[in-house]
Structure 1
């Protein structure tokens, strides 16, 4: 078949991928499909990560299953997201893996933060407890597993450390290889400089830029299609080519031109503003000077399709002294209620309201990111509509360190893959799932927290325990990641992702020697728009 066809026809970038799609079962085919589906918009995963959980009883809306309106959010910490209620999805009833506890019942006993960070996006145990304060994941993380399949040229994910990079296992969740932290980028200037090279023809193909600047895919590849039609080929191949042309006509829309210096300036991104943010947003300093710039850079990276997998995180152990907040203790100590990392002691006066201030500030920042994404036209909708933009938190309640009843909020349907405008309780569908007991520690009238009392706050361990692995399968499938025959993500695979991580039962993490075991394969069908 077509043995003498000029190789250029197949390898010109977007156009070549589209023409090759009927004949090549490869990454090029999936890229072509991603460009043509949903108005030519790629599907993206954008994550925001914060440390130490929240006051869950104030964060969660009362209703855990069914439609959530702006009024439902207005009554919570998430009031800043109320304008986007119709585009939000709140998955309820989920547990992250490898929870630390006194009795070692739900995971390892390395460190309450280090082991959780290492396992969060890998769902693998960390290195043994003999490496207590330097524990590293024994598996690869979600961001890298996704990016190698869906990013242009399989590039690494964009991991953005707001406030600068810290090189320790307590501050990092990204692993490109087992036991190898991928620290990401902490400098806004570095990210900006990498993006400005895309404003011209840049490193991507001419065809990709023609599409980005307003031509349809069918127009871009018309010459190549005509060349193919003149090549001697079997009747079956001619039919495939004809069918593919019909598909392109039916599904391809025009993508607006937006990857430009003008778009960067519209987002407030200039060399001067980015440089100012880089100077004013280092470790331990005023993050109000750098957070919005970093989020705008994430939006620009998505617009330019430089990266379809973008993970942003705030540092731990922050002392909030900006935007009207003036704390004397850092966020880690405040989450423990006693002002330091001890598990018991004298309550910091007014500590519950301090936590509320932190929760509120993070909610504002997520609302800013969502608003920016929702302001950009893309295809027939908004940039937000083609993403799964998710706010994850390290813990549920920061004092108890529990990982069940995890606070998760998603914005965007990822091209119609997910339901929006509602909460979905994946643990039975009840609308009255517990919101937790975060104010039981150092609440009104309590001046001292006894050692061991942390297990009495948060959410009871047998409530809201569905494995986060299944949600990760949702996210991977939504952006186009494929699996091998065993259901695990695999380059060159063609199946739906049904397996992620080493274990989906947190109790199995107590031993690093347990064999791979996924007890509840598949994604959460209830989160799907057609579920």
Structure 2
């Protein structure tokens, strides 16, 4: 993998004008402080929700693969942290990326860009031939709410096939937020009241909301106009900012869950984070703390119905994270260890990821969110050592109102199934009637409903 980072040469009229950008966005912060505006929705049937969790570089199959039958199985070392959740999970063994070879780049690049799209990527970096399943589902179930896409330990400025996994309807990469603070403040503006108070409909509040919506709309339009004059990375960044402002505008007009003091601790938890933590490829010590914060944010966003689709990306394909907190050596990255064949150290990393995800699933369950939430835990390839696209490990949690959980599905014994079937099943679990997703027509998974 080349260490060269992508960029764009910015000269003349295509250069980003910092003063212009600040002029567009500066009014937004002022508008956000004008007063409370969130309308409270009436209680009703719990909405369906989707979470996709990515961890890099495959797994150790001998330590991941259960033994036993479909409903009577033993969880091995890597999956052992989920023992208390075995009735809430479906282990998918024998999932093949049958799109591989039709796209561009090495196994890491194709795996990263194809696993959620079920389509080939293109020769242009960080682009696909269509949208990813999270975006497709988001467009159908979110009812105006923004999707929450967050990452831990990635470089937001390195936009490539190794680092992007979600795509819009045009096949353009959707960039995750690496700062939990920024993601929180976008999802929960300063006007948000977790108790359900302060969102009155007085004339003053209505005027304040109208002003905020007007400022957001104007700023969004100006950013889109600015993006049309730029190229490359600058254009993608400005378009991303415009999308963030559109999400803020949606939050101004959408409802939230019925007021409940039971939810306040979830909100307090994210408001009282330790400040100024960072996790990036160059600063890794806070990786575990940032990971927990991003998971706490997803739980809060779902509990208050601020979002219904979330993506959590741990590191990136070809991971450069050194998992010292898991007991792995400080001189070897995750990807480096996979090519060294050091399974003892790799096992520590994979178990650590399992422990974090188990905490998150338990958090959803404790707060009454899991039965209506489907969580897909996926990766980009079979193992980081062999780079194979077959038998890619995947696990589903939750969704008990649609899925038959508590199962180990061994599709290997029947020749495996295309990962497009997993994506189709996600659509069906969200109440959509699709019979295919992506570039293959394989239908949904058998034996999971």
Same fold at TM > 0.5:
yes
Aligned equivalents of 2:400, 2:406: Cα separation in 1: 15
Distance 1:186 1:205, change over 3 A: closer
Unaligned 5+ segments in structure 1 are 1-11, 16-34, 100-105, 214-255, 338-346, 377-381, 430-462, 482-495, 505-517
Distance 1:204 1:282, change over 3 A: closer
* Corresponding residue to 2:350 among 341, 349, 359: 359
* Corresponding residue to 2:56 among 32, 45, 51: 51
Distance 1:205 1:125, change over 3 A: closer
Hey, what does 1:395 align to over in structure 2? Answer: 381
Hey, what does 2:444 align to over in structure 1? Answer: 523
Q: How far 1:157 moved relative to its partner?
A: 2.2
Hey, what does 2:26 align to over in structure 1? Answer: none
1:83-482 alignment to 2 at 5 Å? 83-99=84-100, 106-108=101-103, 110-128=105-123, 134=125, 136-153=127-144, 155-164=145-154, 165=156, 166-197=158-189, 198-199=192-193, 208-209=255-256, 212-213=258-259, 258-260=262-264, 262-265=265-268, 268-273=269-274, 275-276=275-276, 279-284=277-282, 285-286=284-285, 287-315=287-315, 316-337=319-340, 351-376=342-367, 382-412=368-398, 414-426=399-411, 463-464=415-416, 466-481=417-432
Unaligned 5+ segments in structure 2 are 1-38, 200-249
Hey, what does 2:437 align to over in structure 1? Answer: 500
Aligned equivalents of 1:195, 1:79: Cα separation in 2: 33
Distance 1:108 1:184, change over 3 A: closer
Aligned equivalents of 1:58, 1:172: Cα separation in 2: 28
Q: Note if contact 1:159-1:183 (Cα within 8 Å) is conserved in structure 2.
A: yes
Q: Note if contact 1:426-1:524 (Cα within 8 Å) is conserved in structure 2.
A: no
Distance 1:272 1:422, change over 3 A: closer
Q: Note if contact 2:104-2:122 (Cα within 8 Å) is conserved in structure 1.
A: no
Distance 1:257 1:398, change over 3 A: same
Aligned equivalents of 2:171, 2:376: Cα separation in 1: 25
Aligned equivalents of 1:469, 1:149: Cα separation in 2: 19
Distance 1:204 1:280, change over 3 A: closer
Q: Note if contact 1:152-1:307 (Cα within 8 Å) is conserved in structure 2.
A: no
Aligned equivalents of 1:416, 1:199: Cα separation in 2: 30
Aligned equivalents of 1:78, 1:423: Cα separation in 2: 12
Q: TM-score, normalised by structure 1?
A: 0.61
Aligned equivalents of 1:42, 1:472: Cα separation in 2: 19
Aligned length: 349
Q: How far 1:470 moved relative to its partner?
A: 1.4
Q: Note if contact 2:328-2:346 (Cα within 8 Å) is conserved in structure 1.
A: no
What SS does the aligned partner of 1:47 have? strand
Distance 1:365 1:206, change over 3 A: same
Q: How far 1:472 moved relative to its partner?
A: 1.1
Distance 1:387 1:179, change over 3 A: closer
Aligned equivalents of 1:49, 1:289: Cα separation in 2: 17
Q: How far 1:404 moved relative to its partner?
A: 1.8
Aligned equivalents of 2:413, 2:41: Cα separation in 1: 44
Per chain length, whose mean CA-contact separation is higher, i.e. which structure has more relative contact order (CA < 8 Å, sep 6+)?
A: 2
Aligned equivalents of 1:362, 1:352: Cα separation in 2: 15
What SS does the aligned partner of 2:325 have? coil
Distance 1:208 1:192, change over 3 A: closer
Q: How far 1:54 moved relative to its partner?
A: 0.9
Aligned equivalents of 2:429, 2:261: Cα separation in 1: 25
Q: Note if contact 1:61-1:76 (Cα within 8 Å) is conserved in structure 2.
A: no
